[in-house]
Chain A
Amino acid sequence: MSGATLERGIHAFKEAIDAPVASFFSSCVRCGLCAHACLFYTETEDPKYTPIHKLEPLRRVWQHEYTFWGRYAKAFGLSKPVTDEELGEWESLVYDSCTMCGRCSMVCPVGNDIAYMIRRMREGMAASGHAPEGLIGASQRAVTIGSPMGVKLPALQAQIRHLEQDTGLSIPVDVEGAEYMCLLSSMEIMNFPEYIGAIAKIFKQANVTWTISSEAFEATNSGVQIGVSDIAAELVQRVVNAAEKLKVKAVISPECGHAYFAIRWEGPNLIGKPFNFKVLHIMELMDQLREEGRLKTTGKETQRLTYHDPCQITRRGGVVEQPRNLLRMVAENLVEMPEHGTMNWCCGAGGGVSSNERADALRLKVFSRKKAQLDAIQAEGLVTACSNCRIYLEEGLEENNMDIPVTSLTETIAEHLADEGQTGAQ
């Protein structure tokens, strides 16, 4: 990252400290409960992974800049300044062992939203040049190419052509006046392109007009993951420009956790003004269609299925009941993991962790938490609504010799769509 210096990092830390952050630091009583909520601690028992500890450099900046006694201590040379070396040490704590899943924020007795603070701390980490290589590359590609994985329009068009052939349906691009503009994550375009076919089928049945924008098809916001709000805002603005140009009612976020959070909750705040269109996760839209009676399915999955909540969509995003409503339509044996919904355990790969090769070993190690959850209910199938969760759950399951297929919620619904004249029973 050009222009990265400790000075810029400290400055970014200062900018990141708002009333909530100051309140949170003031309230911490060092009870350690956050550690027991974080899979990076519970599966390693290494106290350095205690969530509040990951914020230590930010805390010291808060102390020395925004508390009267801290300022005096600094003036009298009694404070320990944050050093470049220290930020180097903290890089892996902030980026490798945290997905911003927010489970710690749910259990802190004094109410600290630690994930909120980590997001803000990343701004300083990136500005000081202490962010993982993988994320830096992804962000640069996102800005210059339009996709963190370098997926260019011709590649997307090839996938679209293929899916049009497979499904026999047209996949609209750049249609002005469509109700919905659908975003896609690079992970989906590369690893799970059938998602595009699935939504085409669903929208056809529900009689929904939709489109993809050739100018802004990428959902993934690498800027949010690395913590560079300027990049994050640029990526959001592209989507906004396309949505306004195509005059759509709503932008549909695909099966990707952080993409949803970035556009739905951070988006307007990054660009400094409200959107004049709605933002929905594909699950929210499908559930709406279900409620309106426009989604007709047939047949049911019979194996013991469970749903993995992507943290950014459920706990941090607020989409909790919709996947369950949808799955109940097509699954007769849906069971919940012991801790599910807003108290689910993270897959361990979100928030940039999966882009970071250095974090691979740790990420695989902490999968044991998810394994325990699945073992407890003897799950035979796992459904989720985030392609990052999906592929890294697959990896974790494979590493642990667990034979549980992982499928996408949208694709599962699409597979059970009733043909005309066929509804309800098999």
Chain B
Amino acid sequence: MKEVSVLIGGKAGDGINSAGAMVAQLLNHMGYRIYLYFDYPSLIRGGHNFAIIRGAEQGIGTCREKVDFVLALNKETVEKHRSMWHADTVVLVNADLVKGEGQGIPVKEILALENAPDIMGNSAVIGGFAKAAGIDWETVNAVFLSHIPKGVEMNLKVARRAYDMIAPTRPVSRFPSPALPLIAGNEAIGLGLLKGGLEAYVSYPMTPSSSLLHFLAEQKERFGIQVVHPESEIAVVLMGLGFACAGKRAAVGTSGGGFCLMTEGLSFEGMAELPLVLLVSQRTGPSTGLPTYTGQSDLRLVLHAGQGEFPRLIVAPGDALEAMYWSAVAMNLAWKYQVPAFILADKTLSEGTYSIDPAAFVDPPFADSPRWDGSVPYRRYADSPSGVSPLAFPGAKDAVVKVNSYAHDEPGITTEEGPMVAMMTEKRLRKWRGLAAEMDNYSPVSTSGAAGAPTALLCWGSTKGVCTEVAGALGLRVVQPVVLSPFPTRQVRKALEGTSRIICVEENATGQLGELAQQHGITADTRILKYDGRPFTREELEGKVREVLA
């Protein structure tokens, strides 16, 4: 087998996410590149949770329709996912709860024999899986030692008992590649922000952005940052801007509904020329929508949010490595141009787990605004050819720093004079031109698949993974603008050169990237859209693309 997919399911509270992470690590140590998708309803206990762990020889970012192993912690897992079995799917079940299906693991009995607590039951299932998949005990032992923080010896004993009971029915290949770090998209965003100099993260919990708040709060001492959870998203964005006013690199994070509350603050950010990074991780909308499911329906919102006209950077990374890189870029360019910089993610990216190769990562260049040199009285909004004014912060000797949400003059005093208002508007918009020109220093469009192919899949964000695989199978090319504002028209055109057909693939109902591209003179011939909250599987998209090509 060149690749393997494992589904593990149970009820909410069964620890499916952490058990899934252990399965992922076992495959990681067998040399596989990993993508883990976690599916859960919006409740705390009792609903059905499952994770699909997929391993392949090459990097991946999507799931298959069928799975090779099913690890069922309850009956529902067997019943709900039977359509995902193929003829050789290996089904391992908790024999206490599931009868008459697959191979049973007597979890209660094993726990009793080892006098182990209930919480270690998943180790029995993981041990059983390892044996069924032909994973050697040394690998199991090493993975447990590295990834179980408490009671590892007893967990190993529990796993071993199950390991000895199950037959190696479907051994998976071992690849020579070394194990790589496995991180979730939101963690990758956090690490990128840290590489970009993050000093403070401010956020109010909202799925699917919350796991970044949790990650940074847990790790804040390791990285020497402040993490604040205020009373509302309104307070979040304004506190973030307070950090920026005082000269600290800050970021905020939310999802669509919380971002709606931030829009007034966003417009203030644009007018006052304050640098702040905003993570907006999309879920299925409108309104409360599907809180724990994915979507790509907020591009138009993020492009246009906030009254008035001001420049903004929007990056939409497609996987963890891109998320790390572009989050660092977002922070640097926010500070270089004193503009809002968005990281537009979605549930698939934010909460999916990916293999990343640190050796493949090059830190983007550090960038910042010039600082006031003290030779002339400080003017917060001093005009310049680039539109960027030198920065000084309260506390700087002899600088009177006046930040203003009103139309203002160069020192930052409110004005209603027409010529000054027009001049300052032009000053702000010049930064947009600078940002657009800046894109020559980066690769704002990712491409994959067959470079010269006449048919291109045009996509953005997390659908990169599935599009790349489908393009690989069908001999198509993939064009994925990572930067969506300023829209890299020239680079997208170049990536599309020689195509005769453009198929736009999006997880929304109205084709928002297609519309944006159209505004820049790039017309997609066909759209393939999905809007049920679930990401495309490889087979699903491949089928739809084949229909279009037929």
Decide if A and B are genuine partners. Answer: no
Chain A residues with a Cβ under 8 A of chain B: none
